[in-house]
Amino acid sequence: MEATKKCCENRHDDEVCGCCAEKIEEHEDGDIRADIIKIAIAGVLFVIGIFLHGLPHHLLLLLAYLIVGAEVIINAAKELVKEHSIDEEFLMSIATIGAWAIGESAEAAAVMLFYAVGELLEDIACERSRKSITSLLSLRPDEIVVMKDGSPVTLPLGDAKAGDIAVFSAGDRISVDGIIVSGETLVDNSALTGESIPENKTVGDMVYGGGLNKTGRVEVRITKPYAESSSARILELVENAQEKKATSERFITRFAKKYTVAVVALALLTAFVCPIFTGYSETFRGWLYRGLTLLVVSCPCAFVISVPLSFFAGIGCASRNGILVKGAASLETMSKMRAAALDKTGTLTKGELTVVSVEGDGDTLRLAAYAEASSSHPIAKAIVKTYGKDIDYSKIESVSETAGKGVAAVIEGGEVTVGKGESSSSGLEVTVRKNGAQIGKILLADEIKPDSAEAISKLKETGVGRIVMLSGDRKGSASEVAKSAGIDEFRAELTPEEKCKELEKIRQESGITAFCGDGINDAPVLASADIGVAMGGLGSDAAIETADVVILDDRLSRLPAAVKISRRTMKIVYQCVAIAFLAKLAIIVLELFGLAGMWAAVFADVGVTVICILNSLRALNYKPR
């Protein structure tokens, strides 16, 4: 990311911006190409050098060594002088310079050459991982078409402002958030939510930056420019997620610093103290060679690269599945989750009233819809939506709405009233009267989401031993939803403060607990949970700001998937640490007994690092079921 800062520091406060993204990518690709050329030249010189003798032999090996090793030595010296610390470059520099001092010029050049190859492979693997993750949101278009004075005009993407009318044809990547004002199409939001089935979008519907316009031409009134769009926010959070380091990652960072110092001390003891205790039965040169080899084999590269990369890959995998994890720490904590507390409205249920049943004659629903047609009340919207036919407003002579009491209208010469909702165990009942006589009832309820029961079942399968629903709704309604979802425990009629207290009880009794809510009303509980999971949807700024994890498409079934991804990631982290530690320990033991040389040390350093990197990238392609 150093290249990023150089590109942006004068104008954009060290952030990656649209105008610089292409330059940064070109810079990184250019660095890799330059490294490949250097290694190729050094490799040719090395191969020629080992077949020569005398001065040409040493000169070619020295030249090969300096081509790939000069920068390593300079960086090690800078780190030592400026930061007073030693790292893997310091270890490699001392080991190879020492090898030159005892006449092992071929091994010194080979070690530095293979170290350069290993660093190159690491850079390529990390770059591929970064590109794979950024490609989840597809390529950012450089330009956007907006309407100016009735004509389409092409502008740089950054010049489009809120309020402008953008035009997207079939096949275009939607680059901004906005509301459709003209046209109809299918939008593929798989890059944002992981949902593969396109959604039908028409006038009045919201679309989000990152979606793919599949079928029709639409005009969209921009509500947020690209820099504030869903795709830009998500991409920024994913790329910056490593700033929130996991406990294990912080441990590896601290461990590597102390480990490097310990390795240098052990190498010095091996080289200068062991000959004394062995009575110089072996030459000083032999023990010095072992000490230098110890420096090579003990480089902490495999630890300090593969662990962060595993977390980064796990975060990318979650993003691929419509789950935004805001840092490695959140991913690690989720893997240890033992209990889950869930909100009801908007989490287990759809969060909006739906007509469940209509009692009365065949005209009940039609008259109620006509009476409620002009109202913006949730009950009115649900009735009109269920009626589903065009309203003939010429038949409505007058309408009056009284807050808290209902609606009265004169329709086709008769007086129709739709009374206020009365709560019942099954939902909300409204009465429909015509000319004073009751002609029917309409029952409305907040329906449970189709995947809620399946999500609870899968969450239990992951080993989350306790699931509790915390709701501010009435006990009867909460009981019905909990029963339908397969939840054994629930608390009802809770204030936000009481939810926080209940969550703390669950945490004390069961261990690490996640709370899953809608990201707005439940912000205090989300903030106080070990893991706050927001069913925020694409447009919820509050969700993204408050929660540790955001489920982008509001599907609760993403929650068990998130748990599985986190546990898979942690398994890979532990594997990488075990592979690196055991391989290095084995070579160190063999080296102390004189059974391994620098070639084995190179494998234990470079080879094991590459193996660990390839293993860590498996987290990116994991598909939870």
Q: Are residues 458 and 443 in the same domain?
A: no
Q: Which of 398, 425, 447 is the last residue of a domain?
A: 447
The reply to whether 27 and 154 lie within a common domain is no
Shared domain for 16 and 116, answered yes or no, is yes
Residues 428 and 502 in one domain: no
The verdict on residue 13 lying in a domain is yes
Long-range contacts of residues 146-149, Cβ cutoff 8 Å, at least 24 apart: 146/222, 147/219
Tokens of 368: 């109620």
* Same structural domain, 599 and 472: no
Q: At what angle do helices 105-134 and 301-320 cross, to 10 degrees?
A: 20
Determine which helix (DSSP H) or strand (DSSP E) holds 218, and give its type and residue range. Answer: strand 218-224
Residue-level pLDDT at 19: 41
442 with 523, same domain: the answer is no
Write out the two tokens for 70. Answer: 């000069």
Q: Give the CATH number for residue 161.
A: 2.70.150.10
Distance CA 328, CA 619 (A): 13
Residue 13 sits in the same domain as residue 111: yes
Domain check: are 299 and 421 in the same one?
no
Q: How far apart are CA 71 and CA 77, in angstroms?
A: 10
- Distance, C-alpha 94 to centroid of its chain: 40
In terms of domains, do 71 and 164 share one?
no
The dihedrals phi and psi of 80, each to the nearest 5 degrees, come to -70, -40
- Of residues 313, 302, 305, 311, the one with CA closest to residue 607: 302
In a domain, 304, yes or no: yes
- Write down the pTM of the prediction: 0.73
Q: Name the residue range of residue 594's domain.
A: 2-134+246-313+569-621
Q: What is the CATH number of the domain that holds 397?
A: 3.40.1110.10
Compute CA distances 183 → 163, 391, 560, whole Å: 17, 22, 37
Q: Is residue 234 part of a domain?
A: no
Residue 123 shares a structural domain with residue 253:
yes
Last residue of a domain, one of 413, 447, 481: 447
Q: Which helix (H) or strand (E) holds 213?
A: strand 212-213
End-of-domain residue from the set 552, 579, 600: 552
Distance CA 184, CA 167 (A): 12
Domains in the chain, number? 4
Give the residue numbers marked as catalytic. 343
Distance CA 443, CA 427 (A): 7
The rounded distance, in Å, linking the Cα atoms of 416 and 595 is 97
Give the C-alpha separation, 134 to 242, whole Å. Answer: 15
Same domain, 72 and 192: no
User: Looking at residue 333, what is its pLDDT?
Assistant: 92
Rounded distance, CA 296 to CA 300, Å?
10
Domain for residue 558, yes or no? Answer: no
Residue 405, SS3 per DSSP: coil
Mean pLDDT by 10 residues, the chain (625 residues): 37 40 51 88 91 88 92 87 76 78 78 80 66 55 87 90 93 90 87 70 88 90 84 66 62 70 78 70 72 75 78 85 85 94 89 86 90 87 90 90 83 89 74 92 88 94 93 84 93 86 94 85 82 76 75 88 95 90 83 73 75 84 84
114 shares a domain with 261: yes
